[in-house]
Structure 1
Amino acid sequence: MTSQIINAILLGGYYALLATGLAFMYSVMRIINLAHGTLIVLAAYALWVLGERLSIPLPAGIVVVAAAMFALGMALHHAVLARASRGGELLPILATFGVAIILDNLIFQVFGADSISLAPLVGDLTWASFELPGSLFVGKISVYILLASVVQIGLLEWMLRHTGLGHRIQATSQDRATAALLGIDTARTAAIATGVIAATAMGLRAAWGPYSGSVQLLFAFEAVVIGGAGSLWRVLTGALVLAFAQSLAASIHPQGFLIGGHLAFLAAVFLRLRGAGWSFTALLKSGVRA
């Protein structure tokens, strides 16, 4: 039982790392980014190319990919999101869905359908573990991912509440017209926020393929909805609940892993819709806010 609890916590940290960018995007831009999972996969492929084909060490590769993803995020905002957001709430969803399909198929054309892993780049971390009291072992890479998710959420929260950029982002998310009247360049602020989100989209810990983005998006979306309204720390709470529900269901039946998470998600959906009104947008508006 102790081992299951620890593994669920570590899995929740992984889900939180996936979900933070999705929650941040909606809190800032009120856009449900259906390309979020694909951006995570794209960043993972970029890390693999830098390490496996160009022999760039993983730490340096992370810095390079983060910078490249930041630039890609800003370009995505200017080319797609800024225009789509003028057409109401549905058009950005459709636009990001189209971006995801295009990127998925481009990745498939370039890399093929074979699964790829970052295991060769992390070396001993693939199998290394910490020994806990009671002869319990936990993978080091899972612990590091949990710590990374906590650090990422903490930095984003600190940035939002204690920096000029964070204040501009919050003002833009709450009332873009008023923020513009106050002299804030809302378009540039939103583009920077999108770049920050893309730059943090590096959460894969297992093998993946060109169409793995939809699975990452599903877990991220469920964690955000389960976490509910409040700060980005609620994303971590939602991710932990999702992971515990999956672990509990898996202990009952071997095929219950995904079903348990989906049931927890559906329970959260019904609770939120009861309080927010029966509509899809009401459900998301009851979700995370900056």
Structure 2
Amino acid sequence: AFLGLSITTALGVSPLVALGLVVPLMAAIGYLLQRGVLNQTLGDDILPPLLVTFGLSVIIQNGLLEIYSADPQKMSAGALETASISVPGGIAIGVLPLLMFVVAVVVIAGLQWVFYHSALGRAFRAVSDKQDIAQLMGLNKAHVFGLAMALSLAVVGVAGVFLGIRTSFDPSIGPGRLIFGFEAVIIGGLGNLWGTLIGGIILGVSQNIGAQINPGWQLLAGHIAFLVVLAVRPRGLFPRID
């Protein structure tokens, strides 16, 4: 989101146009971060990568505070933010939320194709399952890890720009948004991309229902929906079956 803000401010372009620069820049940052730092922490012990990524989060947050201050920021998409489409029944659907939903579906469909119908996806799954055997078969696991992180941060770049258009953001917003992402993944089922999308929809609908009952219940309603699913289906609604 902050990268998108910098690009839109410096070039005077729409945030949606800035996506064309944000996505490849985030992918490059992800690859360099994985190859230069995170690959050095990988091993049987999960503690080193946890400590390093926690330290990075502190450094990034404080760096953003120094550059952008603690004031809330927002990117403007002009008329797109208030445009709506009328449908039968007197319901108006916002163009921006609809665009975000369509982009989410396209991104997930693309990831699904990459993971299960491409050579890169086969490399991801091979290195994820058996690193040493994949290395013996000619795969450079360090490079594959780097590509996986590049793909991850490219998707994060898309989400960050839309977040910056949809609502205000500041350097401390990360943990709060991370909770929603975690809950969506758990509701949908670990390893199921389409399940994550459905989990996000369930979470969003629950929050909106809670807000209709009482504005103070918006976030609470989402957490309650998460706990209900967790109690009934501990592995999520659509867990991946290996």
Aligned equivalent of 1:263, options 206, 224, 230: 224
TM-score, length-normalised on structure 1? Answer: 0.75
Q: CA deviation at 1:53?
A: 2.6
Q: Structure 1 stretch 147-156 or stretch 229-238: which is displaced more?
A: 229-238
Aligned equivalent of 1:166, options 84, 106, 121: 121
Which residue pairs with 1:206 in the alignment? 167
Q: CA deviation at 1:75?
A: 1.6
Which residue pairs with 2:48 in the alignment? 91
Change (3 A) 1:216 1:288: farther
8 A Cα contact 1:227 1:288, kept in partner = no
Matches of 1:77 and 1:267, distance apart in 2:
36
Q: CA deviation at 1:161?
A: 1.3
Aligned equivalent of 1:132, options 74, 87, 103: 87
Matches of 2:155 and 2:169, distance apart in 1:
18
TM-score, length-normalised on structure 2? Answer: 0.88
1:236 counterpart letter in structure 2: L
Matches of 1:114 and 1:206, distance apart in 2:
13
Structure 2 stretches lacking a partner, 5+ long: none
Query: What number of residue pairs does the alignment pair up?
Result: 235
8 A Cα contact 1:235 1:288, kept in partner = no
Matches of 1:124 and 1:229, distance apart in 2:
37
1:215 counterpart letter in structure 2: G
Q: CA deviation at 1:83?
A: 2.1
Matches of 1:241 and 1:196, distance apart in 2:
26
Q: CA deviation at 1:91?
A: 2.9
8 A Cα contact 2:188 2:196, kept in partner = yes
Q: Structure 1 stretch 69-78 or stretch 49-58: which is displaced more?
A: 49-58
Identity of aligned residues (%): 31
Which residue pairs with 1:67 in the alignment? 24
Structure 1 stretches lacking a partner, 5+ long: 1-43, 276-282
Q: CA RMSD in A?
A: 2.2
Aligned equivalent of 1:112, options 64, 69, 82: 69
Aligned equivalent of 2:2, options 35, 41, 45: 45
After TM superposition, list the pairs within 5 Å mapping 1:210-289 onto structure 2: 210-271=171-232
8 A Cα contact 1:74 1:192, kept in partner = yes
1:142 aligns with 2:97: yes
